[in-house]
Structure 1
Amino acid sequence: MKAVLCRQYGPPESLAVEDIPSLEPAEGEVIISVHSCAANFPDTLIIEGKYQFKRAFPFVPGGEVAGTIKSVGKGVEGFAPGDRVIGIPGWGGFAEETPVSARKVVRLPDPVSMDAGAALVITYGTTHYALEDRARLQPGETLLALGAAGGTGLAAIELGKVMGAHVIAAASTDEKLEVCRQHGADETINYSQDSLRERIRELTDGRGVDVVYDPVGGEYSEPALRGMAWNGRYLVIGFTAGEIPRLPLNLPLLKGCAIVGVFYGAFQEKEPARFRELMGELTDWLAEGRIKPRITARYPLEETARALIDLKERRATGKLIVYTGLGRDGG
């Protein structure tokens, strides 16, 4: 089978597509024949050795896939060859086959495309967990999404609306903000032109926002924190800007707000039952059309490096999908 291999840390250009032996499942695993694998910002960090977890060389990057089960290992119940599934391998997704723990596999409803299934877990899964469990977002509250035109930002807009929130989307261009409005944003802020803090004040009549969803970090984190309402919750999702902000801790004290970390990978491991419960809710919403992942580009497996370059250079809005021969049509 073909797989994208990382043999040493380096930029996406250092990855190579190679033929490797077909896989057999270990106990508790399934082998998924991959149709689609979503590219995510952590993939760009993993291959350069900048992520919190390291993998022995050589390894195959790619953290979320959709496909059909090829084979099941000893002790696996509830899945059979041919089942349409979403898998969260963490590694191994940019390949024609990948092994996944059965605990991290969920069924993909028949009406849903493989591309949409692959685009669901890391962006929507992280965001769903963040808003529902970590922030406990309530109907009528105001949610501010930073980096709102990216994959996680658009997920925050859609899920915020499904959960009954008033959503303010912040992004760096008017074109990106138009995409945010198409996905349901009630208000928008162009933070490359306007003062983020002042616009938050204007749009909330001075009250501030109840929840900040921040996958970006960098220079906009502090003004967003200053725009929090009393009892607000600031969700730390990631740092796509590259800079981990140093926030003044007197602000949570004065505002009575909380800074809340969101580590979706650890959540999957520590609370597997709750993880599957939330994923069940997400796949239902996906099948019902209440959420619609925005897939803006598809790349054949041989062009995985180009997908990761586009992510790294922040040229993408929505999700990027890498497909194998099985997923050529996205279905």
Structure 2
Amino acid sequence: MKQLAQEISARFSELGVEIPIGDIEERLDKMIHKFKVPKEEARRSVVNYFLKLHDIKRNEFYVGERSESPMANIADITEDGRWVNVRGKVVQLWDNTHESISQVGLIGDETGTIKFTMWESAGAPIVEENMSYLFKNVVVNEWNGKFQLNVNKSSSIESIDDEIEVGTATVDITGAMVDIQSGSGLIKRCPECNRALTKGACMEHGKVDGVYDLRIKAVMDDGVSVQDAILKKDQVEDITGMTLESAIAMAADALDQGVVLEQMKSMLVGKYYKLSGSRVDRYLIAESISPVFTYDPAELDELIAAAEVI
């Protein structure tokens, strides 16, 4: 334990903070022997305590002490502050309006998926959906009980040719579509990176001649919980009967792209559907959607008539 305390003290000393080894040992001893915390977890807890006490960012502490980061399966990423290399496929990119963030999305391997945040200061290359990459020296961050990867100036990203089959469990939900969020309907995407445009501009490539697409960001309620779901073009066309071409024509006739979203809301909100797909972070990425008929109107009339007779 003394050696571990010395290592922690030495690292803080490199950052210009002198912490008595005895103080570190005392906290390690309490965590390991009194509370029976595993050694690595105790080390992390003690380090985090002194980081907060001296107002030092966690990344600053770990950047200096790490060596070559190990390869990690996404399912095994369960330790805050750990530096890892991850080989995976970018399965989704999300809209982002924060100027200090370059990209936000999900990367997956054979064991699962995890959110990543690429900071603008990292200077890393832009990634694309459905392409495979090696994320090197990325740091694990825990937020509200969920883990994500942060790509910063110490990280690098390499494009790879590997064909990666992303492992995700299929989830089925049945419930009412209670809302369709903004950013749905007829949208435009950047032809370079596939991001949804905001006011005709891409966060990365600026003003571009966007490519039309259909998307629904639905809110589903199964009576127990609420689930955000994303329906891509194929699912939108299936459930609305509206093609991309007809949506473009509708918007052109009205001189208003918003009419497509309003039409979708009037068709879908308040009705019941069964969705199948994969749950990725807070979203269910739908692979299929079908209406659920809660009753047959003719059947209801018969039941009412029978009740009146009784």
Provide TM-score, normalisation by structure 2: 0.24
Larger relative contact order (C-alpha < 8 A, sep ≥ 6)?
Answer: 1
Identify the structure with the greater strand proportion.
Answer: 2
**Structure having the higher Rg:** 2
